Structure 1
Amino acid sequence: MILDRLHGGLPDGLPPGRLVPGSSPGLWLSDEPVVAPGRLWARYQAQQRQTGWLPLLMAWPCATGEGHDVAEIDAVDAESSLRDSWASYQETRSLRPPHPAIDEIWPNEVAPLLAADPGPPFTRWPGLAAPSPPHPGPSPDAVARAAVGQMLHYFTTRFIAHIALVRADRTADLPALAGWESDAPALEFSALLRTWEDRFGARVVGIEGSSVFVSVASPPLSSAHAAHVALEHVLTGASNLNDGTFPFPDYAEALRGERLWSFWWD
């Protein structure tokens, strides 16, 4: 049986957990939050090329295993998807508050924030941002291990982490393959994450409900490059980047040299 074959490839020494029945390509979840989740995550990361199971931290189990398949991610053109999002974003921004349509989209307290935000410094779709030159220092996988420690500080102030393993070839595919339970556009997001892996050394390291955490080995360093990358972030539709909390220029500047990116959707 396929479950037996998949289970045979799981890493040794797993905590109590279960392979989710019917999951494809395969999802294993710990039954309870684990002790020393960062150490376990790093152990399974070190074995992932041999086992084919990629580790993912979860504040609580928030994936069903019934996600998209690799062929569906392959079929998504990330740049075309963002271009469509750009058109919608520009249309929405053209409805400057006060406007009846804006009132339907955002609560009253958000509209003034959006009105004061100058938005991105682009008048037309600029295409995907250029890749960052590889930064000197740790590899993307090593940066991911460091980011896990930073992320766990966030988790452990409010939650404790479960460990998940997903049968996958690259971490970018994890949101789409795992059957992540959120309002995020997981398929399109995974397609975009693939390009971030290639351009910035990104790795998906954890999920907290509708939030996802991404380590970045080669983040943008200049203001112009950061603004271009920030536009891609905004066009994911992530709520934390579209609710008026951070004016676009401030968010873009905060991305310079930042090696842990996070996104959440309502």
Structure 2
Amino acid sequence: MVINPNALGLDLPPGTMRVQPSLWYADEPATPDTWARLLPAREAAGMQPVLLTETQYLHPSQVADPDDHDPAATLAALWDELAQEEDEGTLAPFSRTWPGLAPATAAPADGRTAPDDTAPDDTAARLTAELAGDDEWLKGARGALVPARRSADIPAVLGWGGATNHTDAVQLSTILRSWEDRFGIRVVGLGPDLLTVSVAAPPRTTADALAVAAEHYAFCPDNVWDGYDTIRAYAAEEVLDRHEWTFWWD
């Protein structure tokens, strides 16, 4: 049973519960503090905060679940399907053989916490404050609460259809779960064909960024195809030390 967060006495903006898919959806566009205001509903009602531009692209599945998939096997299968037809130059520095999962971001060697290595929820709150204020594609997005076990499951629970031409929402959530474990991501924004995550612990070295970029290519090849000649170039610009990863599917 999904609890209506309106009945919990939380400091929420005006909003309405919806069905198929089940979610709470704010009545007005998000403000910079919306995501942070929604976060207490996770503890109180098991509902994950996210910003949605609209709800017409949501098609909930009744049978599939990320528990049914392994993230490494899912990424390998997506990579193999793409790489066999890809120009080898684009794959540089990789070959057509799946390179394997990137390592989790490690703490600094001296044991100190780097100034920008904040907790995942803090990173998400800061990023959504920026996006709600001036990001073009999230302009007009509303806050939403989704009954999901973890942030990574939001696309699967909603039946998000933005990557239909490449893969389904359940496989995306399978991979997002792994990124949540390794890099502290939170799914913070969804549009008709765009997905944004905050990243609390992005890769800090070129080698680690390259390994993550290979996963991004398997997850969303359009990110590389749209503006980059190689995965190496994409890694340097979009992955290394970046606290925001945005994906777009054609």
Query: Which category describes the TM-score, using the shorter chain as reference length?
Result: 0.7 to 0.9
- Contact kept, 8 Å, 1:28 with 1:166, in 2: the verdict is yes
- Contact kept, 8 Å, 1:120 with 1:231, in 2: the verdict is no
- Contact kept, 8 Å, 1:29 with 1:162, in 2: the verdict is yes
For 1:1-266, what aligned pairs fall within 5 Å after superposition? 2=1, 6-7=3-4, 11=8, 12-23=10-21, 26-34=22-30, 36=31, 38-64=32-58, 66-67=60-61, 72-94=65-87, 117-123=89-95, 124-134=97-107, 136=113, 137-155=117-135, 159-184=139-164, 185-245=168-228, 247-254=230-237, 255-266=239-250
User: Measured at CA, do residues 17 and 8 of structure 1 come closer, stay the same or move farther in structure 2, by a change above 3 Å?
Assistant: closer
Partners of 1:237 and 1:227 in 2: CA distance: 15
Q: Which residue type is aligned with residue 248 of structure 2?
A: W
TM-score (norm: length of structure 2): 0.84
Partners of 1:10 and 1:79 in 2: CA distance: 40
Post-superposition Cα deviations, 1:225-251, rounded to whole Å, max 9, x if no partner, equal 111100000001342333454532221
- Contact kept, 8 Å, 2:79 with 2:98, in 1: the verdict is yes
TM-score (norm: length of structure 1): 0.79
Q: Which residue type is aligned with residue 160 of structure 1?
A: G
- Contact kept, 8 Å, 2:132 with 2:138, in 1: the verdict is no
Post-superposition Cα deviations, 1:11-43, rounded to whole Å, max 9, x if no partner, equal 5354443222243xx311223424x2x312101
| RMSD of equivalent CA atoms | 2.5
Q: Which residue type is aligned with residue 242 of structure 2?
A: E
Unaligned runs of 5+ residues in structure 2 are none
Partners of 1:10 and 1:62 in 2: CA distance: 26
Unaligned runs of 5+ residues in structure 1 are 97-116
Structure 1 residue matching 2:54: 3-state secondary structure: coil
**Higher Rg:** 1
Structure 1 residue matching 2:123: 3-state secondary structure: helix
How many residues align? The count is: 237
Q: Which residue type is aligned with residue 240 of structure 2?
A: R
Q: Which of the two has greater helix per residue?
A: 1
Structure 1 residue matching 2:81: 3-state secondary structure: helix
Partners of 1:175 and 1:192 in 2: CA distance: 11
| Greater shift in the superposed pair: 193-202 or 243-252 | 243-252
